[in-house]
Amino acid sequence: MKQGRLRVLLGAAPGVGKTYTMLEEGRRLRAAGKDVVIAIVETHGRAGTASMTAGFEVVPRLRVGHRGVELDEMDLDAVLARAPEYALVDELAHTNAPGLAHEKRWRDVETLLDAGINVLSTVNIQHIESLNDVVQQITGVPQRETVPDAVLRSADQIEVVDLAPQALRDRLAEGQVYPAARVDAALSNYFRLGNLTALRELALLWLADEVDSSLRRYRADHGIGEKWEARERVVVALTGGPEGETLLRRGARIAARSSGGQLLAVHVTAQDGLREPNPGALAAQRALVESLGGSFHQVVGDDIPSALVEFARASNATQLVIGVSRRSRLAALLTGPGIGATVIRESGDIDVHIVTHAAAGGRMRLPGTRGALTLRRRIYGFVFALVAGPLLTWLLTSFRSDDSITSDVLAYQLLVVVAALIGGIWPALFAAVLSGFTLDFFFVDPLYTVTVNEPLHVLALVLYVVIAVLVSIVVDQAARRSRAARRSAAESELVATVAGSVLRGEDALQALVTQTREAFGLTGVRLVRDGRALASDGEPLPLPGQSGESGGVVTMPVDESTVLELHGRELQASDRRLLAVIVAQIAAALEHANLEETARGVAPLVAADRVRSALLAAVGHDLRRPLTAATAAVTGLRARDASLSAHDREELLATAEESLDSLAQLLTDLLDVSRVQAGVLGVSLVDVDLDDLLPAVLDELGIGPAEVDLDIPADLPAFPADPVLLDRVLVNLLSNALRYSPAGERVVVSASTFADTVQLRVVDRGPGIPADRRDDVFVPFQRLGDTDNLTGLGLGLALSKGFVEGMGGTLDTEETPGGGLTMVVTLPVAAERDGA
């Protein structure tokens, strides 16, 4: 019998539309003439999903009794007897009721597949066995129903049903996923925006990994031994020229063709002599790299092709993107193959893309020198003398005459000068001596002999050599100055990049260490303070005692307790000079870090001073009112010439009592906020039962069932808290909610458990608070929206937050679905505190 095919719809969370998509696919198959039945579909009361089941043949469910409860399960035997072509089986991870043939629904599906029935099923990412612990860390909710990874990986097709996290939250708020009573708790717990984003990423990464596994299985099944680079790491070479943006965008497109592709841009500071880099363009290209999701790197190298290929190999690159040469054809003819040809020759198994651009084949420029007279240039000079000398001799002897001696001498002089320009003094001396003997042998009588008959001819030969030496000296000095200028420009550019890394990034030390390793081509760099590594990059450094004269560890002191360790190659004097500048930058970064740490230590003092200033300003007004009222009442009572009735006396006594109570409450709040600010709040944790605490809170506020709804689960566990502080927190939150709730709207107080915490929610339907101002409500002496000063010092929410944090919890604000503000108190179920 032919095995059935399994297609699984994978979702990041409930409500993304897996079941709806499965039913849509079932409708499509039915329209194509296929035999499709619903084996089991869970609509969860969603009207849209239920409407999609219309028109399908539904296999009746099997009713199973368990502990006095009737459970509806898929009737496996009925589906097998019906033997459809396709069966729709929802919730692959479902656990069957006891007594059925299989404990898990995925085993039922395996039976259907063995019977030749194709199955469409659904599962959420949290039910995959290997991801169960990761999902619990993200959401705080353990999952008891799981599917082995092998079951999913054996599916013929896995498809992610994707929905943006905010769109899912909007669906939830509109009541399309859960009933209205469960919406608030769901939005605040499992369906938090961060949770949904993490779950979505987890689903996409799991599927990408499954695609890689499928690719490996295919290669193994078909005996394909060659490596297929499914994930690209693309290196783009930047020169600072106008072609940079074109190269970067092309590189980004190449990297985006594969899952997990990476984009790296590299700039070699030593240029080819044909142009000067544009710092502004290079900075703009760096910003473009970062906007494209790539990273920018800078290296120093005299040989640009070798530096590019070496960086690409060190980065494990699969692709290298360079621009077509901007030199003209004449310049390319005079200077030989450019960087592109050399990179292609040295790249090995790295694919090289040479991208054309608007600046290709630019205007005619004189070929520039390579800089210093390297060994390669001296070899070129000797080769030129050996090749051009015989050719020139053959050409001159072909047109020799008695009057051509002068032009012959000048031609050989030109040969010497060109050899000097190419290779410097030694090729020029070689060409001068060779030319002198050639002139004497082929052009001076007697011919074909090396004979000097006239002393004047000896002088001519000496002058010939002197001219060659002088020209060589000029060329050598020019080359050295050019090299020094380019080296200075490269060093300046590197220093600017290093300084920019310090200014741009928060982790300046790591950026400096990385730039140092890349700039000097080292294998490893580490910044160590008192035996502890502050930052490192590259390969691990060898242990002390393993370093040698060459390739060992070089140390550069940064300050009394900090050293920079470098490993990979021996540094030259010019490298050490530049390294000293980088070390100075590291020292400045360390000092900056110390200052930041000091500033963080001073910040609480500044905040405390700000509170004291606000306190003095508030005391001048808010305390004066009850104090003045109490004083006036007492003065009236003590007036001897005043005739007060019993009613007047009672009124004055009530005014004095009310004012003194208000004054006592204000002073208590001021003392409490001082203790919170000073970090000396006394907290006594005991197990609190919310059912015992709430009546006292409601009595204190004088409110009843007409003004507040209580939604407290019967099985809510007791939790550690300070009853006095929690009472004051709830009184403050409820009084604020009642103050801002519209007439006829009742405040809701609810409680729920999430992970290892208890969450208390006070929900109002008032005007709410703009998202950008919600943190301001916890600042002391703030009265958002108040136009008078009759509501106290504005310490209620600041104190509440301090009290909750003192008990080891948090106090946050959320928008109430449909409008309003929700205050969320989160307290740990098992508080871990040392006393108090």
pLDDT in tens, 214-241: 655 665 565 654 545 556 788 998 887 7
Across the chain, what does the average pLDDT equal? 76
pLDDT at 466: 77
Cα 735 versus chain centre, distance: 42
Q: Which two tokens stand for residue 642?
A: 């005043």
Our measurement of the distance from residue 409's CA atom to the centroid of its chain's CA atoms, rounded to an integer in Å, reads 70
The pLDDT value recorded for residue 368 is: 35
Q: What residues contact 355, with CB distance under 8 A and at least 6 apart? A: 243, 246, 247, 250, 321, 322, 323, 324
DSSP 162-228: ---HHHHHHHHHTTSSS-HHHHHHHHHTTT-HHHHHHHHHHHHHHHHHHHHHHHHHHHHHTT--SPP
Quick one: pLDDT at residue 363?
Answer: 39
**Listed residue (688, 690, 684) closest to 752, CA to CA:** 690
pLDDT band at 36 (very low <50, low <70, confident <90, very high): very high
Residue 354 has φ and ψ, to the nearest 5°, of -100, 110
Instruction: Report the distance separating Cα 331 and Cα 277, nearest Å.
Output: 19
Between these two residues, 786 and 484, which has the higher pLDDT value? 484
pLDDT tens per residue, range 631-673: 777 777 777 666 777 777 788 788 877 777 766 766 665 565 5
Mean pLDDT, residues 811-827:
85
Where residue 79 falls among pLDDT bands split at 50, 70, 90?
A: very high
Q: Name which of 162, 158, 127, 213 is nearest 7 in CA terms.
A: 158
Give which of 489, 240, 266, 250 is closest to 359, Cα–Cα: 240
Tell me whether the omega of the peptide bond preceding residue 446 falls within 30 degrees of 0, making it cis.
yes
Instruction: Quote the CA–CA distance of 440 and 314 in Å, as a whole number.
Output: 57
Q: CB count, 10 Å around CB of 602?
A: 10
| The pLDDT of residue 285 | 85
Instruction: Return d(Cα 105, Cα 90) in angstroms, integer.
Output: 9
